[in-house]
Structure 1
Amino acid sequence: MHITILTLTISLPGCRSLKEKRQRMGGLHERLGRHPAIAVCESGHHDRHDASEWTFVAVGPTSRAVASLCSEIEETCLQRVDGRVMEVTRERL
């Protein structure tokens, strides 16, 4: 069993409310949280409108499968989120 923790820090320039922040994040939790091998939560910047931090835990039978899942998560965030991904960290357990 292979596990990777993926953390994305996202800048949301011009965002003025928590409602707008939720809209701009584009249902990230619902979309990626459905996958049985991914756990997701908003892990930081809860009190800021112009930034968000999300942590994903990806689990798979091989390191290659987990790396593929992490790449899929990153690509989804780049395509679906109305903001800029500022930092990406991966931690293998």
Structure 2
Amino acid sequence: MNLGILTLRISLPGCASLKEKRQRMRGMHQRYGRNPAVAVCESADRDRLETSEWTFVVVKPTAPEVESLCNEIEDKVQRTVDGRVMETTREML
């Protein structure tokens, strides 16, 4: 099995409250956590209004499959989240 860790730091300009932040980031667990090959969590900046950091752990039989799923997650986050991905970190184990 191959394991990949994808961490995305997302900027949420103009976010005025934690409630608004939760609304803008809502569905991250539902969208990505349904896949049995993916674990997802908000890994940092939980109390900061204008940023959010999310980490995805991807497990697949081959490294290309892990890389492909990480690419898919990153692309989908960029399209669906009301914010901007500012930093992406990937680690393959």
Give the TM-score, by structure 1 length: 0.97
- Give the aligned length: 93
Which aligned segments of 4 or more residues in structure 1 are displaced greater than 4 angstroms?
A: none
Q: Which runs of 5+ in 2 are unaligned?
A: none
RMSD: 0.7
Matched, 1:74 2:52: no
Give the TM-score, by structure 2 length: 0.97
Question: Letter of the aligned partner of 1:56 in structure 2?
Answer: F
Question: Letter of the aligned partner of 2:46 in structure 1?
Answer: H
Q: Which runs of 5+ in 1 are unaligned?
A: none
Determine what percentage of the aligned residue pairs are the same residue: 66
| 1:1-93 superposed matches below 5 A | 1-93=1-93
SS in 2 for 1:79: helix
Aligned 8 A contact 1:3 1:92 in 2: yes
